[in-house]
Amino acid sequence: MKRLLSFPNPVNDAAARTVALGVVAMALVALVGDVRWMMVPLAYGFVARVLTGPTLSPLGQFATRVAGPRLSSWRREVPGPPKRFAQGIGAVLTLATIVVWVSVSWSAARWILVPLIGAASLEGFFGYCVGCAIFGQLMRFGVVPPSICAECGDLRKRYAAAGFVVTDES
């Protein structure tokens, strides 16, 4: 059971970006195509990835077994805890979308998808993980203890390696 409820560390960034692109596609289908039921597998995927990494997530399995290994230009190992945190944010947003859809209206719920699509697009297309950046700031402010991820305390090195301009003020 302990192995089932684990998250990989490190994570193949190509697989993480593939998952993000899958999230963008599913969320756009839900939003633009008015395919409300798409929220259920989207939310399930986030919850499954938070709890078990790619183990119980069909999209996670595709990303780690099929697409990720083939995207050699995106392949690099990145810390797992920030990625798990980012998946947690996705889980909260998709579950909130479902709750608002069921209790208020689909028109209101659709707006919750906009930041999800934005963040997943940044991750998928550009390799910039908004959740990881938030995780790094939470570590910087002492909310997340350094013992959670020793290599995560300074994400500037990782983003500099990805080609993003990083300053000391960030």
Q: Are 12 and 70 in contact (CB under 8 A)?
A: no
Mean pLDDT of 38-55: 95
Residue 149, classed as helix, strand or coil, is coil
Is the pLDDT at 170 greater than 90? The verdict is no
What pLDDT was estimated at residue 114? 96
Average pLDDT over residues 49-69: 90
Residue by residue, DSSP assigns 32-55 as HS--GGGHHHHHHHHHHHHHHTTT
> Bigger pLDDT: 64 or 40?
40
Beta bridge partners of 77: 12
Is there a contact between 132 and 82 (Cβ–Cβ < 8 Å)?
yes
Mean pLDDT value across residues 36-61 = 94
Residue 68 pLDDT > 50: yes
Given CA atoms 57, 62, 80, 92 in this order, what sign does their dihedral have? negative
Of 162 and 116, the structure prediction assigns the larger pLDDT to 116
DSSP state, 115? H
Residue extents of the structural domains in the chain: 11-161
**Across all residues in the chain, what is the average pLDDT?**
88
Residue 39 has pLDDT above 90, yes or no: yes
Burial environment of residue 113 by CB neighbours within 10 A (0 to 12, 13 to 18, 19 or more): buried
pLDDT at 69: 80
Q: Are 46 and 87 in contact (CB under 8 A)?
A: yes
pLDDT tops 90 at residue 26: yes
Q: What pLDDT shows up at residue 91?
A: 98
Distances (CA, A) of 164 to 17, 65, 161, 167: 16, 28, 7, 10
Given a cut of 80, whether residue 96 has pLDDT beyond it is yes
Longest distance between any two alpha carbons in the chain, whole Å: 45
Contacts of 13 (CB under 8 A, 6+ apart): 74, 75, 76, 77, 78, 127
Stretch 149-170: mean pLDDT: 62
- Overall average pLDDT of the 64-79 stretch: 83
Which of 6-15, 31-40, 68-77 has the weakest average pLDDT?
68-77
